[in-house]
Amino acid sequence: MSAMTAPASSWQRRERIRLAWRYLGAVLVTAFFVFPIYWLVMISFKTPAEIFASPPTWYPASLQFANYAVLFKDGDAVTVWNSLVVAGVSTAAAMLLGTMAAYSIARFRTGGDNLAIWIISQRMAPPIVIVFPVFLFYVWLGWVDTFLGLIVLYTAFNLPYVIWMMRGYIEDIPLELEESALVDGCTRLAVLWQVVFPMARAGLFATAVFTFVFAWNDFIFALVLTRTNVTTFPVQVTHYFGGQSNFWAKIAAMSTLGTLPIFVAVALLQRYLVRGISLGAVKG
């Protein structure tokens, strides 16, 4: 009996040592990837004296909200609101148009494979190549530095993503459900509204969050197409970098303000994260 347990316990010990090494690795790796975010958030709570201490201090003596208060007092925080409006409205528009198109492609094979591939290829062009012609076009239309202009651009830029992702989610829904609803006398539109949308709810939600994040995080489109009226928060952050000195407190506070909502949103859809960022190629 003891001859049986001896190798087992040594195997157990080896496993335990292996696990300890893995934990060490996990902690070190995670520390490296979280540290810059920690540093950014800490700066936003520091006093000027703590920010400009050399050598730097790793945490503030007490949490100061003054850096945030300044953003609201000076009106800079309105750029976060601008981002919210632009990203929110363009997401709603892209989801509506995109899901309709995705349903058409998924269920009727509209346009065959070529249309689907053409649509996703629109997503691969570098933003600078998209935004330069759009800028010329917008100058002509008078859409530069308007909410409408930015919303239309984000809607168009995100549409291929929505169509591509929603096509995948709709194809996951069993066809029988729709067929039986049609047999029961539902119209096509009613099937879409009462069967497809509820069934694809999780996919709709995940796709909408990613679409929102793309628009929210964008810098180059907003940089080119806005001046002073529709400045979004990423553009505002770059205004705080001066030639000689940087407004550290504002950079940190504005960045934190604009990043925390993203963290919350992404935490809500851990399950769909991999599928979302891999353009549906990896189902997780």
Partner 1 sequence: MFQYWLIWPAVLVILLIGLFPILYTLMVSFQNINMLEEDRSFSGFMHYAALFRDLRLWQALGHTLIFTCIALPLELLLGLAMALLFVDRMPGRQVFVALLVLPTVISPIIAGATWRLLFDNRFGPINQILGWLTGEPQAVLWLVNPNFVYPAILLAEIWQWTPFMFLLLLAGLANVDPSQLEAAEIDGAGWWRTFFQIVLPAIRPVLAIALLIRGLDLFRLFDVVWALTKGGPGTMTETISIYAYVQGFQQFETSYTAAIAVLIIVLLSILVVAALKRMEIAR
Residues in 103-132 at the binding interface with partner 1, rule: CB under 8 A? 103-105, 107-108, 110-111, 119, 121-122, 124-130, 132
Q: Exactly one of 23, 72, 81, 193 binds partner 1 (CB under 8 A); which one? A: 23
Structure letter (DSSP) for residue 77: T
Please state the closest distance from residue 39 (CB atom) to partner 1, in A.
6
Q: Please check whether residue 103 is in contact with residue 170, taking contact to mean a CB–CB distance below 8 angstroms.
A: yes
242 is a contact residue toward partner 1 (CB under 8 A): no
Q: Exactly one of 60, 219, 239, 247 binds partner 1 (CB under 8 A); which one? A: 219
Q: Exactly one of 12, 180, 194, 246 binds partner 1 (CB under 8 A); which one? A: 246
What is the C-alpha to C-alpha distance for residues 90 and 150, in angstroms, rounded to an integer?
Answer: 8
- The token duo for 217 is 């995080």
Q: Exactly one of 26, 69, 175, 268 binds partner 1 (CB under 8 A); which one? A: 26
Residue numbers 27-86 binding partner 1 by CB under 8 A? 29-30, 32-34, 36-37, 39-40, 43, 51-56, 58
* Residue number, 69 or 96, with CB nearest to partner 1: 96
Instruction: Name the segment binding partner 1 (CB under 8 A); options: 2-10, 68-76, 102-110, 178-186.
Output: 102-110
Cα 98 to Cα 13, 37, 57, 213: the distances in Å are: 55, 34, 49, 16
- The token duo for 120 is 């996703």
What is the C-alpha to C-alpha distance for residues 29 and 23, in angstroms, rounded to an integer?
Answer: 10
* Residue number, 47 or 104, with CB nearest to partner 1: 104
Please state the closest distance from residue 10 (CB atom) to partner 1, in A.
18
Structure letter (DSSP) for residue 241: B
* Residue number, 230 or 237, with CB nearest to partner 1: 237
Instruction: Name the segment binding partner 1 (CB under 8 A); options: 5-13, 24-32, 67-75, 177-185.
Output: 24-32
Structure letter (DSSP) for residue 200: T
Residue with tokens 């960022």: 277
Number of residues counted as binding partner 1 (CB under 8 A):
90
168 is a contact residue toward partner 1 (CB under 8 A): no
Residue with tokens 């040592």: 17
- 161 CA to centre of own chain: 12
Q: Please check whether residue 264 is in contact with residue 271, taking contact to mean a CB–CB distance below 8 angstroms.
A: no
SS3 163: helix
Please state the closest distance from residue 1 (CB atom) to partner 1, in A.
26
Q: Exactly one of 63, 177, 190, 281 binds partner 1 (CB under 8 A); which one? A: 281
- The token duo for 55 is 């050598």
Q: Please check whether residue 164 is in contact with residue 119, taking contact to mean a CB–CB distance below 8 angstroms.
A: yes
Instruction: Name the segment binding partner 1 (CB under 8 A); options: 62-70, 72-80, 171-179, 236-244.
Output: 236-244
Structure letter (DSSP) for residue 246: B
